[in-house]
A and B are shown apart, each in its own frame.
Chain A
Amino acid sequence: MRPIALIVRRELMAYLRSPLGWVVAAVALLLDGLLFNFFAMGEGHRKSADVLRQFFYFSSGTTMVASLFLAMRLIAEERQTGTIALLYSSPVRDYQIVLGKFLSAFLFLAGITLATIYMPLLILVHGKINLGQIFAGYLGLLLLGSASLSLGLFGSSLTRSQVVAIIIGAALLLFLLLCWLIGSNTERPLSEIFSWLSLHNKHFQPFMSGIINSQDVVYYLSVTYFFLFASTRALEARRWSG
């Protein structure tokens, strides 16, 4: 655990001490604020549950994009600057590197996500608020962010270029987002598999409405686990891919 904790601390400091982390956080909040005002609040009178649902819908978009930007540098930057050799030569195992980097990015992302709490709380000024829906929504955002981060980390583990890393991550994310479309244009049993794989449509929408399904939680955790495992394998691939 100690090597993981050290990596988490080091990476978290890297986020906090580089403008990138703060810029990503500020831009994510700015976008969330704009979307909250123009779309979630909208014009006319809306019920608080609808406003919250819309807020989580738009926040999920910024969370996914922020995840990719936070993840792109995690391993690709180490390769780009050559510091990966230091990590390889240190007494740290590959899975510890991946887990440490993932946890640091996740903590930072969780900070950004939870910093938006003032928006739903503003609804309290003139409407009712359902704390259960807020809890479920943020749980969904954190799970979605965790899955997106692991996708981005996998992209980052495959290349030395941060641009290519974010493109790979975005392509994977887009594939999982559009799985519902593939599922609706194919036949059983693949249609069921693709529909199940749908990252947002199938699994995030219940969270927006305040419903927590154990199957959705398991889905996000398994996506996270799979891509972290794949990232570890990609990192280990140096031993056989040259």
Chain B
Amino acid sequence: MTATEQKDTSRATIRIEWWPTVAFFVGLVLLYIGERAIGDPARVRLGVDVAAGLAMAAGLVGRARSLTQARDPNHRRAESWILIAMVLVLAGLGLYFLFALGREWLRSSLGKAFDRTDGVAAVLWPALVLLGALPLVAMQRALSAMTDGHGHAEHIEIRRVSYSAHSGATVGLVLIFCFAINYVAGELNKKVDLARFRSTRPSPATIKVVQNLNKPIRAVIFLPSANEVREQIEPYFKDLSQQSGRFTYEVVDHALSPQKARDLSATGNGLIVLGVPDEKNPTQMSQREILHVGTTLETAASALQTFDGDVQKRLLLLTRPGRIAYFTVGHGERGMDRFTLDLTKEDLRAPMSLLQQILQGQGYEVRSLGVGQGLANKVPGDAGIVFIAGPTERFLAEEVNALRSYLEGGGHIFLMFDPMAEGPAADLQPLLQAVGVKFHATLLCNDENYWPRTHQKSDFANIAAVSFSSHASMTTLSRASGRVALVLPRSGWFERDGTTPPGVQLDFTIRSMPKTWEDANHNFTFDKEEKQQVFDLAVAAHKSVGDAKDKKEMRLAALGSVDAMSDLVLGHRPNLVLALDTIKWLMGDEAIAAEVAQEQDLPIVHTRAEDKAWFYLTVFLMPTLILFGGLFYIRRVRRRRAS
């Protein structure tokens, strides 16, 4: 910016130059482009830098010339202030170039003090540029406002220039303050994660597993300090370690403990190794399971959603190893494929893949058991539990005998009936006779409480149950008796078969709702000859067998609806809980029967008709209400005013 005074014949006027300020700022912008936007080629960068230097020098010289030519004292003061502002900017830039170009020289000269000085310079140079540039713009604006529109002013009001400089400087200081506050906030950032569904708190089930540990378990968490995932999962393990002296944990950084990482086969951070400490060398682990979580919240998101279930699964694998679940095959039992509605498939019945996943999650190995695997002879000795999932074809008498022998010898069987298959139900009756129960393979219906699946009359066969006994296999459901409903699509029913055999403890665990009827003619309508009543839908029976040295317990659970455990409804929380608790009871794990904390987000499913309703509600109804409500209000106010 330059200012010259011109003398008129009548009166003196002061010329206020604007171009030096503009040239100075053009130079600043060019310098930014040269230094920051153009990396290569170096020749272009140098050219832009030189052009920037020339523009800034022109601005500085122009302003200095204006100062030397100024006659009016106020004008001289204003010009000198503007020059000082320019020098401040140049000082900032000088500091920047000093540390950018003479970095190595400064490092050797300053020695240990370099890092601190470098940090101060990094803050100081932009602050100087700001504190020079903002008052410069403000003062130029104040001076320009005093001209007649052609760059001439009668006199300079120095207070206005002073005020503008002060204003620009305070804006600059506030900006620096804001940057400083943000820098501190960035360094001391606190994160509150409300994003995930409940996941990283131990569930009652996992707590029970830890409380009932039969051997010591140690968890080694490989995560660095000040890590966001560590913040999420460390409290989880702390909670668990408070439940039992047999459970301990430690957090180590993979980079700082390479030997421990090698011993435990941990390839990096973001891993959790759960294992049984070696008795001779406690730093080693005789058995171990590895859980991958990741080191950032983004990569750990999915692992954290199922974290509790995954930890529980590994704890069970470590403490109850080698458990095998057999599913009988060859009698039209439900398959294990994932549930897809494929009309080209021969078997359209819902499979049992979710039940299989649950078993695997509990540490079971799932195998098939048919004639080929020796079922006609005997049930394999390694069988932890045998599932008979809705057979529709006849069993051989030898197979039934093998199953009954297995059961009476202290085996565990989960029997799920398909009421439409009378033959297999009759074949399996000896298993039920062993505990004094009879199964009726007739369809139950209820036209008041049912699951509307197809909105046809056949939905009456999808009955619900809200009444549960206090049996151990109903641990969780019995607490919510009357408040949660099990869905039992196509169910038959049970009743006592004479007197209960000696030693057998029998419990009817699930009861139907009142007004359920046996739909003998399969018309899904309550007819006069049919009777409405409460039916028993599931039984659980157990009996101690063997001598004092080899004491075992036979356990049998029978369910009138195989579909209640199929993929069709196993996603329904109460059905899932029934499956978990029944399996745990059958295996003698009832002490750890409880729900796993695995609340995951679910896809939103909606129909086309619902889509339309949503569309009209969200797009038109609310905005229209707001607009017309507002216009009506305005009209009322105006009328009131007019009257």
Contact = CB atoms under 8 A, between A and B. Distances in A.
A218 interface: yes
Contacts of A223: 178
Contact of B141 (A36, A214, A215, A241): A241
Interface stretch (A63-71, A123-131, A160-168): A123-131
6 contacts: A19-B630, A26-B623, A126-B604, A136-B194, A210-B196, A241-B145
Contact of B602 (A125, A127, A222, A233): A127
B604 A214 contact: no
Interface in A135-182: 135-136
B619 A226 contact: no
Interface in B195-240: 195-197
Contacts of A190: 36
Size category of the A interface is 35 or more
A196 interface: yes
B171 A26 contact: no
A172 to B, nearest CB: 14
A135 B626 CA distance: 23
A242 B614 contact: no
B604 A132 contact: no
Contacts of B611: 37, 41
Contacts of B159: 240
Contacts of B161: 240
A49 B191 contact: no
Interface in A201-242: 209-215, 218-219, 222-223, 225-226, 229-230, 233, 236-237, 239-242
Interface stretch (A1-9, A80-88, A114-122): A114-122
Contacts of B374: none
A210 B37 CA distance: 35
Given A213-B191, A218-B181, A233-B167, A123 B197 contact: no
A92 interface: no
A107 B562 CA distance: 58
Interface stretch (B182-190, B326-334, B453-461): B182-190
A96 interface: no
Given A47-B604, A210-B194, A215 B189 contact: yes
Given A18-B634, A229-B171, A211 B606 contact: no
Query: Most chain-B Cβ atoms within 10 A of its Cβ — which of A196, A211, A223?
Result: A211
A219 B185 contact: yes
Interface string B603-617: 111100011001101
A130 B181 contact: no
A32 B143 CA distance: 47
A213 B194 contact: no
Given A51-B604, A210-B193, A26 B615 contact: no
A10 interface: no
A218 B160 contact: no
A239 B618 contact: no
Contact of A25 (B163, B188, B626): B626
B642 interface: no
B630 to A, nearest CB: 3
B36 A187 contact: yes
A242 B171 contact: no
A22 B626 contact: yes
Query: Most chain-B Cβ atoms within 10 A of its Cβ — which of A29, A133, A225?
Result: A29
A33 B621 CA distance: 10
Contact of B622 (A29, A49, A189): A29
B633 to A, nearest CB: 7
A126 to B, nearest CB: 5
B164 A240 contact: yes
Contacts of B614: 37, 41, 122
Given A219-B185, A225-B178, A48 B602 contact: yes
Contacts of B122: 189
A115 B36 CA distance: 44
A213 B228 CA distance: 12
Contacts of A215: 182, 185-186, 189
A226 B173 CA distance: 10
Contacts of B146: 242
Interface string A32-75: 11101100010001111101000000000000000000000000
B624 to A, nearest CB: 7
Given A210-B194, A210-B195, A211-B193, A186 B36 contact: yes
Contacts of B191: 211-214
Size category of the B interface is 35 or more
B155 to A, nearest CB: 13
B39 interface: yes
Given A33-B618, A210-B193, A211-B194, A26 B624 contact: yes
Instruction: Please classify the interface of chain A as helix (H, G, I), strand (E, B), loop, or mixed, using the class held by over half of its residues.
Output: helix
Query: Most chain-B Cβ atoms within 10 A of its Cβ — which of A18, A19, A36, A240?
Result: A240
A115 B630 CA distance: 14
Contacts of B186: 196, 215
B195 A132 contact: yes
B181 A222 contact: yes
B180 to A, nearest CB: 10
Given A19-B634, A118-B617, A127-B602, 13 more contacts: A27-B623, A29-B622, A45-B603, A45-B605, A51-B604, A122-B617, A210-B194, A211-B194, A215-B186, A218-B185, A226-B174, A237-B164, A241-B141
Contact of A133 (B195, B619, B631): B195
B627 interface: yes
B629 to A, nearest CB: 8
Contacts of B256: none
Interface in B276-294: none
A40 B246 CA distance: 48
Given A126-B604, A240-B161, A219 B618 contact: no
Contacts of B171: 229-230, 233
A-B interface, 10 closest residue pairs, ranked by CB to CB distance from nearest = A132-B194, A22-B630, A210-B195, A45-B603, A127-B604, A218-B185, A242-B145, A26-B627, A33-B618, A240-B160
A241 B627 contact: no
A29 B191 CA distance: 31
A110 to B, nearest CB: 15
A128 B189 contact: no
B8 interface: no
A23 B627 contact: yes
A16 B142 CA distance: 38
B622 to A, nearest CB: 5
A90 interface: no
A239 B601 CA distance: 59
A129 B188 CA distance: 31
A209 B629 CA distance: 34
A177 B603 CA distance: 32
A21 interface: yes
